[in-house]
Amino acid sequence: MTRNVIIDCDTGMDDAVALLLALRSPEFNVLGITCVNGNVGLGHVVNNTLRVVEHSGKDVPVYAGYSSTLMPSGEEDAAAVHGKDGLGGLPFPAPKKQVEKEHAVDFIIRTFMEAKEPMDWITLGPLTNAAMAIRREPRIAEKIRMLTMMAGGVHSGNTSVMSEFNVYFDPEAARIVFDNDIPKTMVPLDPLWSGGRLTEENLAKLKAAAADRPWCDMASQIFSQTIEIMAELSRYLGNEERYVSPPDLLAVAVAIDPSIAEIENHQVFVETTGEYTRGMTVVDRRRFTHLAKNNPRKKIAIAMKANQQKYADLVLNTWLKN
């Protein structure tokens, strides 16, 4: 049965392809997309999201959210990876679609509170909007079937030694969300190196379909640009086959079909003060935590590995057959 979902994002290149997957998926009815400051400034995020929606062939409302973190401290965006505009400077036409007047957090709260059945929620960027929605209206927790987050890392980070960008950018917001009892699936960095990639063969099939599918055209251009940037940043080893591993794309794929991932369930804490670990997702992997007294904290489903074949099939089938 089709599931209603809200997606919160900071649309850079990986968010863009993730949104295209969600918007084309027959599993989802995307009720709205909310934008937050992150990969690039909020203005670019909104503009990019509108362009993605237009390329998807769908008509979904887009809402602007917070343009700063809960405790602003000069956060550095990810323009070095995503380009100054967030989409690698690719010449996608300016959007005709307009952003909605309602604030993103107002939309989130209203939509969840009006829902007759629990809905899905997917976050692909810093958790500022999500934290503010939870803080303003805690009852939305009862309306959420599953919150799937591209967030954190179990073994390492990508912005600092142990911190992943989305959590590091606004760790106070992340802590509010992680500490809440909402059922959660965390898609961290780890599975990107364990099956969470698309190969050159996968990308060739996508490119071949670009002429009559604007969503495939947009995704193909973004993937090609991603490969160029990754090569410039020396992310490939020697003659290693070129591939793409957009973390947000994998998160949406896991939200669509959790069986593509190998899941472990653990308690997760967000570090907000450490000199070297601010923004770290601290995963308690001890074997006997269930024996601890006065420990009501719920465990989070963490995607540790991905089945590359099932993942690629899901992405390609969604874009090529729908």
Half-sphere exposure for 271 (CA within 13 Å, toward CB): 20
- Cα gap 260→254, rounded to integer Å: 6
| pLDDT tens track for 83-94 | 999 999 999 999
Residue 288 pLDDT grade (very low, low, confident, very high; cuts 50, 70, 90): confident
pTM of the model: 0.96
- pLDDT tens sequence across 245-263: 999 999 999 999 999 999 9
Domains, the chain, with CATH or none: 3-321 (3.90.245.10)
d(CA 10, CA 16): 9
Asked whether the beta carbons of 192 and 250 are under 8 A apart, the reply is yes
Give the span between the Cα atoms of 218 and 213, in whole angstroms: 9
